[in-house]
Homo-oligomer: A and B are copies of this chain.
Amino acid sequence: MQRHFELALESLKADIIKMGSLAEEGIASAIRSLQSRDTALARSVIDRDVEINALETRNDRAVVDLLALQQPVATDLRFILAALKINNDLERIGDHAVNIAESALQYAEREPLSLFVDLPRMSSVTMDMLRNSIDSFIHSDPLKSRSVLVNDDVIDDLNRKIVGDLSAAMRRDPACIDQALELIRVSRNLERVADLATNIAEEVIFIAEAQNVKHNVEKTVPGH
């Protein structure tokens, strides 16, 4: 029974890790499709969302079975509940990848904007947060989780700057309004992905430290 339980836990963890890779790949590909105007890539991101959705459903069932059949307590219970939430967060990240890919398709139909907007930095910081939050889950590393939390404000500032730059561009040249609106949508979707990466990091801290850091976050890396 104990052995079976451990195997089921490992399998849940493996599926969450797989989902994490799919979510990460989805966001990375969606951003790449926007930058390189690669509509086939954008469409493949939209098509592949079913894989994440199928994994979410499977993981949800695994959680119900684990709780019903094994009645775990303490660290195992915290791990399973956190996995349930992370599962949901990753599925939402998949949805944001789809939104970005849809914007990439719209954007590719028109002239690209000639101004520099700092979406490359925004997506690189967001991808780092996402990767680190998933790594911190894989290695049960709450110190790495805390490094994710500090970046949430950086993302908020970048989003505000990008939206400001793009609305200024629209005022200067109304012909670029549709293009600028798509990039604003991308920026807001990246901001939500960063929020969800922050949630995942908070869940990892919850598993490790049995404390709920949400709404009461020390946004500092210990020693800094």
Q: A-side interface residues toward B, CB under 8 Å?
A: 50, 53-54, 56-57, 60-61, 63-64, 67-68, 71, 73-74, 77-78, 81, 84-85, 88, 163, 167, 170-171, 174, 177-178, 181, 184-185, 188, 212, 214-216
With a CB–CB cut-off of 8 A, which chain B residues contact A64?
A: 77-78, 81
The DSSP consensus for interface residues of chain A is: helix
A169 to chain B: closest residue by CB: B177
Query: Cβ of A216: which chain B residues have Cβ within 8 Å of it?
Result: 57
Which residue of B50, B73, B181 is within 8 Å of A167 (Cβ)? B181
With beta carbons under 8 angstroms apart, the residue of B71, B84, B174 that contacts A171 is: B174
> Complex formed: what's the CA distance from A84 to B87 in Å?
13
Residues of B within 8 A of A181 (CB): 163, 167, 184
Indicate whether A177 sits within 8 Å of B171 (C-beta atoms), given known contacts A61-B212, A68-B77. yes
A53-B214, A167-B178, A188-B188 given; 17 more Cβ-contact pairs under 8 Å = A54-B215, A56-B214, A57-B212, A57-B214, A57-B215, A64-B77, A64-B78, A67-B67, A67-B77, A67-B81, A68-B73, A68-B77, A84-B84, A84-B85, A85-B88, A171-B174, A171-B177
Nearest-neighbor residue (CB-CB) of A212 within chain B: B57
Residue in contact with A68 in the complex, picked from B68, B74, B214, CB distance below 8 Å:
B74
Q: Which residue of B lies closest to A70 (CB)?
A: B71
Q: How far is the CA of A214 from the CA of B52 in the complex (A)?
A: 12
Shortest C-beta distance, A154 to chain B (Å), equals 19
Q: For A63, A74, A214, which residue has the most chain B Cβ atoms within 10 angstroms?
A: A214
